[in-house]
Amino acid sequence: MSDVKEAQPIEEETQPGSGRRRGGLVLSFAVILALLGLLAWGLKKAQAGPLDNGLAPDFTITGFDGRTVTLNQLRQNLMRRAKHLL
């Protein structure tokens, strides 16, 4: 008779790399959940529509030629040109 012992199944927790696999799975679910949350937030914001309560706030923009223009300047220029047409 031989002294060969019957093979025992290896438990999942004792397999090398199983903790790494579990951590990767948790990280994957967390990333997917975060992306779904961002998608839901974006859809909710898109359904809200544009704001219709007044004029756009004044802002300043610099062109490629280095000149700065404000929205207020553009409005005044438009009003001056509209007066010439009337």
14-70 pLDDT tens trace:
555 667 788 889 999 999 999 999 999 999 988 877 767 788 888 999 999 999 999
Contacting residues for 63 by C-beta, under 8 A, at least 6 apart: 69
Provide the whole-model pTM. 0.40
CA 52 to chain centre: 25
Token digits of residue 30 = 């967390």
- State the residue range of the domain holding 79: 18-48+58-85
For residue 56, which of 40, 70, 69, 66 has the smallest C-alpha distance? Answer: 70
- Rounded to the nearest 5 degrees, what angle is found at the Cα of 29, between the Cα atoms of 28 and 35? 90
Q: Is residue 75 part of a domain?
A: yes
For residue 73, what pLDDT is reported?
Answer: 93
Q: Is residue 22 part of a domain?
A: yes
Q: Report the number of distinct structural domains present in the chain.
A: 1
For residue 53, what pLDDT is reported?
Answer: 78
For residue 1, what pLDDT is reported?
Answer: 53
